[in-house]
Structure 1
Amino acid sequence: MTHISEPTHRLVPTEAGRIHLVEQGSGPLVLLVHGFPESWYSWRHQLPALAAAGYRAVAIDVRGYGRSSKPAATDAYRLTELVADNVSVVHALGEESAVIVGHDWGSAIASGSGLLSPEVFRAVGMLSVPYTPRGTTRPTEVFAHMGGGDDEFYISYFQEPGRAEAEIEPDVRGWLAAFYRALSAGTMPGPGDLVPYFVSPGGTLRDRWPDGPLPGWLGEAELDFYAGEFERTGLTGALNRYRNMDRDWADLAAHEGAPLTQPSLFIGGALDAATSWLSDAVKAFPHTLPGLVSSQLLDDCGHWIQQERPEETNRLLLDWLAELPV
């Protein structure tokens, strides 16, 4: 039996200061990028599986999260900066290239890394959020028109610095539990009910989120880990990703409509609202992802794919990785 090393925590230098990562295994490098509001820990089921299959699996804390640097400036969280962090991680690990896999915001960061640094990122895996090329309309204009009546879409709600933080800070653990519950299979509202993603005038996001037990994938210990991270760091660094969507749009002007040409993978949850909202992006894959190897929708799965369905996610990842050119 092949011996698998224990996960190792490291800090590596970047232009912003440092990125914290957790590494396991040896072989071709697979860089794992988490989403909101998570951490390297969201890949805890993938690290040993990838290592056992002969890969060097590395899960990072994205800038603004965990033990990674947290620059004060809001515009320090634009996509180009996060791509630069990923390139720095690859080089700091002594590698020239990597496969990159992201979930949620990490999916957008992974696809952006592949688009802007194709010489470094030779293949791109995306979970929950499909690749969507830069369009002609400023993102905040799109989100401002989502919903109905006076309700405000959550992405618009997140735009103003300090506003969402004021909701979250008094009870970080309770807010995270409600957020994870609202987007998980088995604990989310009924199909087609988008009410939890909207804010009433003068209200908060949590006002409309379901109460009840934790989703099956999230135990008290796992919730304690996430809560501990954000109670220590706050949520501003994480929320600043949303506050740079228009900057990203401007930064990517030269890449309007550009396809992502590397070998790629998409895994979505059939019950995930993100999959429904972005269904047109999935339909466009023949044009936007000409190197697509596999696109999968997991039945009865919500947003937190690699944690809700770790074994199935691991199998799909490993099948895809095995097909990539060495």
Structure 2
Amino acid sequence: MVGRSTSPDRGGTVTGEHRVLEAGAGRIHVVERGTGPLVLLVHGFPESWYSWRRQLPVLAAAGYRAVALDVRGYGRSSRPQDPAAYRMLDLISDNVSVVRALGEDSAVIIGHDWGATIAAQSALVEPGMFRAVGLLSVPYTPPGGPRPSEVFARMGGEQEFYVSYFQRPGRAEAEIEPDARGWLAGIYSALSADTMPAADAADPHFVAPGGTLRERFPSGVLPFWMSQDDLDFYAAEFERTGFTGALNRYRNMDRDWEDLAAYAGSPIKQPSLFLGGTRDASTMWLSDAIDAYPQTLPNLTGSHLLDCGHWIQQERPDEVNRLLLEFLDNL
């Protein structure tokens, strides 16, 4: 362990004990609450450990050791300069290092958005370490298939899919970083059920030729689940770190495809749970993956679609907490 702190988070509440642990990236910042079986919580883009603020106290009160981390490149965790240092195998190694640094031999791993993919592939590659897995918003798809960059390049016709837009270093940063707070407010609103654009509006997941993602985001409105203090917390994190570390995750998808070729088509055999949103494009685009769960997640204990957008554990915290506890209590 490198260090620890119980300083208040923005808004004056102590969500848990802040610790910085030695890991493959150099250091990984975690927030820990409770005692009992370890539950590791992995966030997505563009978020932080703070995305789990409504789960940490509930899991702790139910008898679990809940630990939310900052993925490498985010928050107080290390931010390697080399873009290739954000490949999936390195993130899996970070998760293993965190479990060991916490003095544990195994954990249940739960992830949202990119965190869901990180959690799933951690369970796939390290089944002895991760004894169960919960996936939020992004369904499990086994490694393999066509090269990811080729798939994303074909999406959208004349428009550019956001994953392709994120590929070139510096390009998305030039859009986002001059006004990180405003951009974050826009993406959180664009993908939240109560503030997302109407069905007939331009899709915020795509970029028009010569355009930006920002121009398709709602402006002047926050989703019901996000306070100004919440937005300030996220903005302060990214204003300090920039977005390159976070965006480098997208810039390694072809490397991941190569690195994980030995696992092509492989199921995750541990107990698993999936929670998605009925108005979340990430869930709906991968409906075929959900249909394939009898083969890809043979020990799935539950698959639930909630009435919400992409930010599921923040939009529907009570329902998510109930379903997570049912899953955990029955392991």
Matched to 1:183, the amino acid is: L
Q: What CA distance in whole angstroms lies between the structure 2 residues aligned with 1:16 and 1:192?
A: 43
Give, in angstroms, the shift of residue 192 of structure 1: 7.3
Per the alignment, residue 329 of structure 2 pairs with 322
Deviates more, 1:225-234 or 1:9-18: 9-18
Q: How is 1:265-284 mapped onto 2 (pairs within 5 angstroms)?
A: 265-284=273-292
1:304 aligned onto 2:311: yes
Q: How is 1:113-192 mapped onto 2 (pairs within 5 angstroms)?
A: 113-148=122-157, 150-191=158-199
Per the alignment, residue 119 of structure 2 pairs with 110
The one of 208, 215, 221 equivalent to 1:213 is: 221
Does structure 1 conserve the Cα–Cα contact (< 8 Å) formed by 2:15 and 2:53?
no
Matched to 2:253, the amino acid is: M
Q: What CA distance in whole angstroms lies between the structure 2 residues aligned with 1:17 and 1:255?
A: 27
Matched to 1:30, the amino acid is: V
Structure 1 runs (4+) greater than 3 angstroms displaced = 191-194
Per the alignment, residue 201 of structure 1 pairs with 209
Per the alignment, residue 5 of structure 2 pairs with none
**Does the residue aligned with 2:233 lie in a helix, a strand or coil?**
helix
Alpha-carbon spacing, 1:311–1:189, altered in 2? closer, same or farther (3 Å): same
Q: What CA distance in whole angstroms lies between the structure 2 residues aligned with 1:72 and 1:320?
A: 38
Does structure 2 conserve the Cα–Cα contact (< 8 Å) formed by 1:195 and 1:208?
yes
Does structure 2 conserve the Cα–Cα contact (< 8 Å) formed by 1:191 and 1:271?
no
Alpha-carbon spacing, 1:51–1:209, altered in 2? closer, same or farther (3 Å): same
Per the alignment, residue 42 of structure 1 pairs with 51
Deviates more, 1:159-168 or 1:196-205: 196-205
Alpha-carbon displacement from aligned partner over 1:137-188 (angstroms, at most 9, x marks no partner) = 000100000112x210000000000000000011000000000000001100
Alpha-carbon displacement from aligned partner over 1:53-72 (angstroms, at most 9, x marks no partner) = 00000000000000000000
Q: How is 1:33-72 mapped onto 2 (pairs within 5 angstroms)?
A: 33-72=42-81
1:95 aligned onto 2:104: yes
Alpha-carbon spacing, 1:100–1:193, altered in 2? closer, same or farther (3 Å): farther
Alpha-carbon spacing, 1:8–1:93, altered in 2? closer, same or farther (3 Å): same
Give, in angstroms, the shift of residue 33 of structure 1: 0.2
**Does the residue aligned with 2:66 lie in a helix, a strand or coil?**
strand
Over the matched positions of the two proteins, sequence identity in percent amounts to 69
Q: How is 1:280-291 mapped onto 2 (pairs within 5 angstroms)?
A: 280-291=288-299
Does structure 2 conserve the Cα–Cα contact (< 8 Å) formed by 1:217 and 1:308?
yes
**Does the residue aligned with 1:126 lie in a helix, a strand or coil?**
strand
Alpha-carbon spacing, 1:179–1:20, altered in 2? closer, same or farther (3 Å): same
**Does the residue aligned with 1:196 lie in a helix, a strand or coil?**
coil
Q: What CA distance in whole angstroms lies between the structure 2 residues aligned with 1:111 and 1:127?
A: 10
Per the alignment, residue 7 of structure 2 pairs with none
Q: What CA distance in whole angstroms lies between the structure 1 residues aligned with 2:272 and 2:310?
A: 19
Q: What CA distance in whole angstroms lies between the structure 1 residues aligned with 2:24 and 2:59?
A: 29
**Does the residue aligned with 1:45 lie in a helix, a strand or coil?**
coil
Per the alignment, residue 241 of structure 1 pairs with 249
Q: What CA distance in whole angstroms lies between the structure 2 residues aligned with 1:192 and 1:138?
A: 31
Give, in angstroms, the shift of residue 211 of structure 1: 2.3
Give, in angstroms, the shift of residue 290 of structure 1: 0.2
The one of 292, 310, 320 equivalent to 1:313 is: 320
Structure 1 unaligned spans of 5+: none
Q: Number of paired residues?
A: 318
Matched to 2:267, the amino acid is: P
Does structure 2 conserve the Cα–Cα contact (< 8 Å) formed by 1:125 and 1:264?
yes
Structure 2 unaligned spans of 5+: 1-13
Deviates more, 1:38-47 or 1:193-202: 193-202
Q: What CA distance in whole angstroms lies between the structure 2 residues aligned with 1:138 and 1:191?
A: 30
Alpha-carbon displacement from aligned partner over 1:68-98 (angstroms, at most 9, x marks no partner) = 0000000100000000000000000000000
Q: What value does the CA root-mean-square deviation take over the aligned residues? A: 1.1
